[in-house]
Each structure stands twice: as structure tokens, then as C-alpha cells.
Amino acid sequence: MFIKLTPAQRDDTFLDNYFDELPDKHDLINEKSSSSNIIFIQTNSLAKNGDQNKFTARQACAIESAARLNNNMNISIIILINNNINFTQNNYVKILNLHYRNIFFKPIIANEYFKDTPLDNWWTSGIFNNTSKYPAVQMSDIIRLIELWKNCGSIYSDLDVVIQKSLDNMTNFVGEVKNENMVANGVIGISCGILGKKFIEACLKYLEKYFDGNSWAGNGPAVITKILQKLCKTKKTSEMTLKKCKGFTVYPTEKFYPIHYSEDNLYFDIDDNYKIMNKIKNSSIISIWGYSKNNRTIKVGSNAPYGLVASKYCPIIYKNCENNIF
């Protein structure tokens, strides 16, 4: 049954005891201590005037940075399509396939993708197609959970990032966003152990019951936050410690989101680049908050912090930007 309720009306007591079988001090030895896959997702085909064949230089940069620093991991790019278009003809896709052996582009069709998953009945009910107001965003939120359910021992990342460090020793984690009592779903790691499996199953159960087609973030960050609140038995992200969360890590803001989205212009600030580069240098991933950057470009060779980071971590894509514009 699919119920439309406001967040305040939602009965989440069915998850109150969901994690009780996990010991208070979860034995991390039982969880795989590293991940073997990094997953990206593109749902352009659902966006207004979406172009299934479009991979931007910045998206390709995220993929290259993942492949370069994690050459022992498979980098999978899940592409939602609605026809047989040959996206491999995209210039950036060609460059990535030429230079990296651990990158794999995987097209999916929604009607086939959801079969034999926990959201099979939910999808066939038509609730998504009938109620979604932000289909590209909401589908991405949903597919990342299904991918982590299908491929445990994986890390999901948004495409509006640059990866600055290896991620292969990380599992069962998300990142906090400063100044909000909510975690983000832009980077998520899930193990193949009981903790990882139960966490992602709980996310899918909650999403199946309370999908909200009117909400931009209600099916993504809000779902992850709700399940963490149940796992850690606290509503405050500052109290979501490794011990309280039974081995699940909520990384501080600086790990993945060193620049708050309200200050995203700093990535393009040439005058103060030293200060910004120093602020982001220890982050494993930097999120560029790309959905607001459509009209902000960087000329290749620029001293803008984003350009400096790209030249270091995705050098091949950066040097081959169309018209020298990144």
C-alpha cells in the first residue's frame, strides 16, 4: 500500500526495533572493511529537454578522478535510457574508455530495472510516473538505493564531485551537511555484512511506504536521515557516533562537503584560491553542488579552485575539454 502523508503524519514505528538484533558494539570484523565498486548515476533522460547522450566535462571529471585514485575498484556509470541511443559516441565517454580499463557504462531501462527488487510492486503501481514532480532527481535518489542493494560492498557518489583520495578502505558511511540536522545522500557506502544490508533494506522499506512525488529532497537525504535516526537512536547528527550507530560512520562535513552549498561560488573565486585550496585539501571528495552551476564556466588553465583541482585529479578530461571550457 502506498500512502501519501506529510512527514509529521508518517508512522515510522515499524522501524523502531529494526536494528535491535545488531549488537550494541558491532563487530566490524564481520563487515567487509573495503569496497570494490564506485557507482555513479545519470538520469538526464527524465529531465526537461534531457539529452541521454550528454556527458559533460565535469561529469567526466568525477568519473576520471574516481578511476585514477581507485584503480583496484570498478567504476560503474548507470545511465537511465528510454531507447537504444548509443551514448558511447559521446566524446568524453570515448576518452574515458580509451584511457581507463576500470570504467564501465551500464544503460538501464526503468521497467526492466525494478523487476525482482524490493521496489518491484511499488514501480508497477505507477506511483512514480503519476506523482513525480522532479523525476530526474527523484529517480536518481531511488536508483542509488537499489544499486547499493544489488551491489553491496559499493560506494555511490553524485556526479558533481571531484574525488581526491582513494575510497577503497571505506564502507558503511554517509556524510553530514553543516548547519542542517540532516545527512546528505551524495556519497554513501554500504557493506555486504549484516549492518550494510539491514541499513539499505530499511531505506527501501521506508521509501516504498512514503515516497513523496512533491518533494525535492524527501526521497533522498530525508530517507537516509530517518533510517540513521532509527539505527543510532538519536535525531541529532552530532550524536551519531560510531558506537551509537553500531559501526556505521557519519563523517563530518569536511569529509565530502568542505564548502557549504550557500558558498559554492568559492570554487570559482580566483582571488582567494589559496585559502579555498587549503580548506579543501584534506577532503576525500569535494562536492561542487553542480545543479546550480549551469551558467558558470572555467577556462582551462584558470586559477579558480575548481579548475586547479580538476587539473590535478582529472587531467585527461581537463586537457580535452571542448573549446577549452570546463
Task: Give me the pLDDT at residue 197, please.
Answer: 94
Question: Do the beta carbons of residue 63 and residue 199 sit within 8 Å?
Answer: no
Asked, for residue 22, whether it belongs to a domain, the answer is: yes
pLDDT classification of 51: cutoffs 50, 70, 90: low
Characterize the bridge pairing of strands 173-176 and 183-190: antiparallel
Question: Do the beta carbons of residue 43 and residue 78 sit within 8 Å?
Answer: no
Asked, for residue 74, whether it belongs to a domain, the answer is: yes
Task: Give me the pLDDT at residue 31, please.
Answer: 55
User: In this model, does residue 173 exceed pLDDT 70?
Assistant: yes
Task: Give me the pLDDT at residue 1, please.
Answer: 41
Rounded CA separation 44/325 (Å): 21
Tens digits of residue pLDDT in 87-104: 778 999 999 999 999 999
Rounded CA separation 172/278 (Å): 28
Task: Give me the pLDDT at residue 9, please.
Answer: 58
Q: Which one is predicted more confidently, 131 or 34? A: 131
Q: Which one is predicted more confidently, 144 or 52? A: 144
Residue 161's closest CA among 4, 315, 320, 314?
314
Q: Among 131-140, 157-166, 174-183, 218-227, where is mean pLDDT lowest? A: 174-183
Asked, for residue 265, whether it belongs to a domain, the answer is: no
Rounded CA separation 275/146 (Å): 39
Number of domains in the chain: 1
Asked, for residue 317, whether it belongs to a domain, the answer is: no
Rounded CA separation 103/118 (Å): 27
Kindly compute the dihedral angle of the four CA atoms of residues 273, 294, 76, 115, in this order, to the nearest 10 degrees.
Answer: 150
Helices (H) and strands (E) in the chain, counts: 11, 9
User: In this model, does residue 53 exceed pLDDT 80?
Assistant: no
For residue 87, what is the domain's CATH number? 3.90.550
Task: Give me the pLDDT at residue 4, please.
Answer: 53
Residue 40's closest CA among 3, 74, 5?
74
Q: How many CA within 13 A on the CB side of residue 289?
A: 15
Question: Do the beta carbons of residue 225 and residue 182 sit within 8 Å?
Answer: yes
Rg (CA), the chain: 19
Q: Among 5-19, 135-149, 227-241, 312-326, where is mean pLDDT lowest? A: 5-19
Which single residue is written with the C-alpha cell 540513521?
Answer: 228
Task: Write out the residue range of the structural domain in which residue 86 sits.
Answer: 14-255
Asked, for residue 29, whether it belongs to a domain, the answer is: yes
Rounded CA separation 293/265 (Å): 9
Contacts 24+ apart (CB under 8 A), 190-193: 190/148, 190/152, 190/153, 190/154, 190/155, 191/31, 191/32, 191/35, 191/152, 191/153, 192/31, 192/32, 192/152, 192/153, 193/30, 193/31, 193/32
SS3 41: strand
Asked, for residue 34, whether it belongs to a domain, the answer is: yes
pLDDT average, residue stretch 61-75: 98
Asked, for residue 20, whether it belongs to a domain, the answer is: yes
Residue-averaged pLDDT of the chain = 90
pLDDT classification of 32: cutoffs 50, 70, 90: low
Rounded CA separation 225/83 (Å): 35
Cell matching residue 68: 585514477
pLDDT classification of 17: cutoffs 50, 70, 90: confident
Characterize the bridge pairing of strands 161-163 and 173-176: unpaired
Asked, for residue 27, whether it belongs to a domain, the answer is: yes
User: In this model, does residue 2 exceed pLDDT 50?
Assistant: no
Element housing 204 (H / E): helix 194-210
User: In this model, does residue 26 exceed pLDDT 90?
Assistant: no
Rounded CA separation 326/314 (Å): 11
pLDDT average, residue stretch 150-171: 96
Task: Give me the pLDDT at residue 291, please.
Answer: 53
